[in-house]
Homo-oligomer: A and B are copies of this chain.
Amino acid sequence: MNAQVSTSADELADAVVAVEVDVRFAETDLMGVVHHAAYVVWFEVGRVAWMAAAGMPYTEIAAGGHHFAVTGIHASYRLSARFGDTVRIHTRLAELRSRQVKFSYELRRVADEAVIATGVSEHICVDLEGRMTKIPQTVADRLWAGAAALTRHPNEAASSH
Contact = CB atoms under 8 A, between A and B. Distances in A.
Interface of A: 20-22, 24-26, 28-33, 35-37, 40-41, 44-45, 48, 57-59, 62, 67, 69-78, 80, 83-84, 86, 130, 159-161
Contacts of A33: 30, 130
Interface secondary structure of A, over-half rule = mixed
Contacts of A41: 24, 26, 37
**A24, A62, A71, most chain B CB atoms within 10 A:** A24
B35 A26 contact: yes
Given A22-B45, A159-B160, 18 more contacts: A24-B48, A25-B30, A25-B58, A26-B41, A26-B44, A28-B29, A29-B29, A37-B40, A37-B44, A58-B83, A69-B80, A71-B78, A72-B74, A73-B73, A73-B75, A73-B77, A74-B75, A159-B161
B21 A25 contact: no
A44 to B, nearest CB: 5
Number of copies: 4
A158 to B, nearest CB: 9
Given A26-B35, A161-B161, A71 B67 contact: no
A86 B48 CA distance: 13
Given A25-B44, A44-B26, A160-B22, A73 B70 contact: no
